[in-house]
Structure 1
Amino acid sequence: MIMAELEGIYTIWLRENKKFLRYRSRIVTSVVTPLLWLLIFGTGLGSAMRFGNIAGGYQAFIYPGIIAQTILFTSVFSGLSVIQDRQFGFLKEILVAPISRPAIVMGKAIGISTTALIQGFILLLLSFVVSVPMDVSILLGSILVIIIISLGLSGLGLLIASFTDSMEGFNLIMSFIVMPIFLLSGALFPITGLPSWLQVAVYANPLTYGVDALRGIILHQSVLPVYLDVIIIAVFALVMILISSLIFSKKEQSLM
């Protein structure tokens, strides 16, 4: 039984990654877009801001945030694959397979997390563009954070996809969720010294802790201890996977 579950998770994981690698344009755009944010937005706004305590200035400061942005968009919007599978009938074939609903969600989440990791890894290797030093310890620590936060965000995307029947509806919901999550994560500005009402929104945002952890590992400057950030995003990932598995099971069972 356990082997069947693991084989099912592996098969779904493999399918998600083959879909990603088949469209190489996705890989190119997923790297070019963050670089444009770094080079254009970072240079433009950085000319009006001074971060003398960080080598590389404002571009280096937003570098971990741009990595988190890439993870956010990739992980959450990959929930569209559930809607596509449902519309083309592939999801029904998976549901009648001898594996549990949580295994299906786990396979999807791990597959989405892997694609996010690939993109994040490429951006980590391009750290020299913004004059940020990179070594093995920083690379491994950043990869760990990327895996954890992408699992949680993919669970969020799958959860929303479970309630949505159309790609248009999914995109509409995402437009009201993804950008606030990104803008309130501290990716583009320091989260210290903010008004109290804004601090509540920032610290209620799980991506805030992912950005802070990446900034602590890469730039050695974080608001909270890195281990605390990692614990918070790990709890978030666990909760989202469990909730999305439960809701997905109930929703898809009602459609059978």
Structure 2
Amino acid sequence: MTRLVASPVQTGLTLLNPLLYFVVLGTGLSGMLGSASGTGDYLTYVYPGILLMAVQMPALNAGMSIVRDRETGLLRAVLVAPVRRATVLVGKCLGSTATATAQGGLLLSFAGVAGLPYDPLLLLALLGELALVAFTLTAFVTLAAVCITRIETFQSALGVAMLPLFFLSGAMFSVAGLPWWLAALTHLNPLTYAVDALRQTVAWGTPGGALPPGPDWGGWAPPLGVELMVMCALGLAALALAARRFSRAE
């Protein structure tokens, strides 16, 4: 958090990409797509995906730092500390979760642009969900970082994986009406439940807002609590696997 506060330029550059998507792409598609959100405002519909994008980059940086520290030898120096290896990994994951949540929380100041009221309860609910999403993303990226040793391979793997996962989450368009094979991929995508959880909260805080279709489990739409538990379980499982793999002597 100290490094985050001391690097406002880096924080601003990290938030520039989701802001461009939100302001430029969201405004440009708003008139064309019309009522995709059920409220007639595409900016409201795309806002949860923009929040997800805001915490995605800091989570990726967490894994990048692990791989970079391993290549430079800094990680080996840290591991001589009189603590368990898993403790170092969990601390790194939780620290990155905190910074990702803080950066994502900055975009909550644009809630009014998305047509949301500045309701403290609504903003706190979104911030708490962002923290859970950031933890889950960081845990998965950390798992990839302890399995991939070369930074070039790590960058290529995440570059190939993260963009399809983002677009298959329903962040930019509805998951309803997709071909069966593509719909199956969206249901296996953990980001789908992150976006839908944020979208359910946004719909709750939007006056007269209707909730667009989300994941469908055999005709049953999982409620917000179930989606939060799914993300929490996936994050804990990924972190446990990463800690187990990290604890092995190299």
Q: Same fold (TM over 0.5)?
A: yes
Q: 1:238 maps to which residue? A: 236
Cα drift, residue 52 of structure 1: 6.9
Does the aligned pair in 1 maintain the 2:36–2:45 contact within 8 Å?
A: no
Describe the shift of the 1:74–1:163 C-alpha distance in structure 2 as closer, same or farther (beyond 3 A). Answer: same
Q: Residue 141 of structure 1: which of 119, 125, 128 is its match?
A: 125
| Maintained 8 Å contact 2:55/2:130 | yes
Matched, 1:62 2:56: no
Q: Distance in 2 between matches of 1:56 and 1:133?
A: 16
Distance in 2 of aligned mates of 1:52 and 1:20: 36
Identical positions, percent? 29
RMSD (Å), alpha carbons: 1.7
Distance 1:168 1:47 in 2: 41
Instruction: Give 1:70-219 correspondences, 5 Å limit.
Output: 70-219=54-203
Q: Specify the code of the residue in structure 1 equivalent to 2:180.
A: S
1:18 corresponds to 2:2: yes
CA distance in 2, matches of 1:204, 1:176: 17
Match of 1:227 among 204, 225, 228: 225
Q: 1:41 to 1:81 in 2, by over 3 A?
A: same
**Contact between 1:65 and 1:188, CA under 8 Å: does it hold in 2?**
yes
Give per-residue Cα distances to partners, 1:219-247, cap 9 Å, x unaligned. 23263311111011011111111011111
How far the C-alpha of 1:157 sits from its partner, in A, is 1.2
Offset from partner CA, 1:130-158 (integer Å, 9 cap, x none):
22223122112112211112111111111
Q: State the shift of 1:54 in Å.
A: 4.0
Q: Partners in 1 of 2:54 and 2:181 — Cα distance? A: 27
**TM-score under structure 2 length normalisation:** 0.88
Gaps of at least 5 residues in structure 2 are 205-210, 215-221
In 1: Cα distance, 2:242 partner to 2:136 partner: 10
TM-score after normalising by structure 1: 0.86
Which structure 1 segments of 5+ residues have no match? 1-16
- Looking at structure 2, the residues matched to 18 and 166 of structure 1 have their Cα atoms a distance apart, in angstroms, of 28
- 3-state DSSP of counterpart to 1:180: helix
Superposed, which structure 2 residues align to 1:37-52 within 5 Å? Answer: 37-51=21-35
